């Protein structure tokens, strides 16, 4: 039994010694460059393939365009200018020109005769001379406008067109116009619905 144990220990020692020796050799090989040679021997050589550049094939030039035959250009003959006498030209034109068709004149507008209103009867301005104006020696002429209907009646109130310069005299002229009598204006012989007349009233101290 003791012999078997000794043999087993001797075997283990031998294996251990081999492992240690292998590591020592490996370290020496790395230091001395032997490993590099081994790697160079083991490593396969690199094969480099040189690939040539493939040039594109030259395309054949395109065929020339077909020539189009153009028809010959016909040159028109030059214009010939002929001087024609004015008399002959006038005669020819007068023969060809159509006569103008007479155009009927439009009917003349119907003109309706109109007349303004007229004064039928008017009182004296002395009767409408304001007493205060006389005392103040106010004198002047006032223009009054009166409009009447178809029966001669006054429409609205008479209006002062031109003042005398004195308010009292203007009022006296309006009162005088309101007291007057009038005839309506006519249109085509018929009395108008509205017609007007203007007249002057003079106030003067005598």
- For the chain, what are the domain ranges? 2-37, 114-203
Mean pLDDT for the stretch of residues 144-152 = 96
Alpha-carbon span 147 to 155, nearest angstrom: 6
Tell me the pLDDT tens digit for each residue of 20-39: 777 777 776 666 655 455 44
**Residue 86: pLDDT band with limits 50, 70, 90:** very low
Work out the percent of the chain whose per-residue pLDDT is above 70: 63
Residue 194 has a pLDDT of 95
Strands (E) located in 43-149: 114-115, 118-121, 140-148
Q: For the ranges 44-48, 81-85, 132-136, 182-186, which has the lowest average pLDDT?
A: 81-85
Q: For the ranges 87-101, 151-165, 176-190, which has the lowest average pLDDT?
A: 87-101
Residue 89 has a pLDDT of 40
Residue 69 pLDDT greater than 80, yes or no: no
CA dihedral 161, 162, 163, 168 (to 10 degrees): -50
Mean pLDDT for the stretch of residues 90-100 = 49
Q: Report the topology of domain 114-203.
A: TolA/TonB C-terminal domain (3.30.2420)
Read off φ and ψ for residue 138, nearest 5 degrees: -85, 125
Strands (E) located in the chain: 114-115, 118-121, 140-148, 159-162, 181-183, 186-187, 190-191, 195-203
Read off φ and ψ for residue 115, nearest 5 degrees: -135, 140
Average pLDDT of the chain, as a whole number: 75
Residue 74 pLDDT greater than 60, yes or no: no
Residue 155 has a pLDDT of 95
Q: For the ranges 14-18, 65-69, 95-99, which has the lowest average pLDDT?
A: 95-99
How much of the chain is helix, strand and coil, in % rounded to 5? 35, 15, 45
**Max CA pair span of the chain:** 194
The three-state secondary structure class of 110 is: coil
Alpha-carbon span 85 to 91, nearest angstrom: 10
User: Per the structure block, which two tokens stand in for 82?
Assistant: 């002929």
């Amino acid at each position: 039994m003791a012999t078997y144990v000794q043999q087993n220990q001797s075997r283990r020692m031998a294996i251990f010694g081999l492992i240690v020796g292998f590591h020592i050799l490996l370290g020496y090989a790395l230091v001395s460059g032997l490993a590099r040679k081994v790697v160079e021997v083991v490593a396969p050589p690199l094969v480099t393939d040189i690939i040539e550049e493939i040039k594109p094939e030259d395309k054949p030039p395109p065929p020339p365009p077909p020539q189009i035959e153009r028809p010959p250009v016909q040159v028109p003959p030059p214009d010939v200018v002929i001087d024609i006498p004015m008399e002959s030209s006038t005669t020819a034109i007068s023969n060809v020109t159509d006569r103008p068709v007479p155009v009927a004149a439009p009917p003349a507008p119907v003109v309706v005769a109109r007349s303004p209103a007229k004064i039928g009867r008017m009182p004296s301005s002395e009767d409408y001379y304001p007493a205060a104006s006389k005392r103040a020696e106010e004198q002047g002429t006032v223009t009054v406008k009166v409009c009447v209907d178809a029966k001669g009646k006054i429409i609205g109130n008479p209006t002062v067109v031109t003042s005398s310069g004195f308010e009292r005299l203007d009022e006296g002229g309006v009162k005088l116009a309101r007291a007057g009598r009038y005839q309506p204006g006519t249109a085509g012989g018929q009395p108008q619905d509205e017609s007007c007349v203007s007249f002057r009233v003079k106030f003067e101290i005598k």
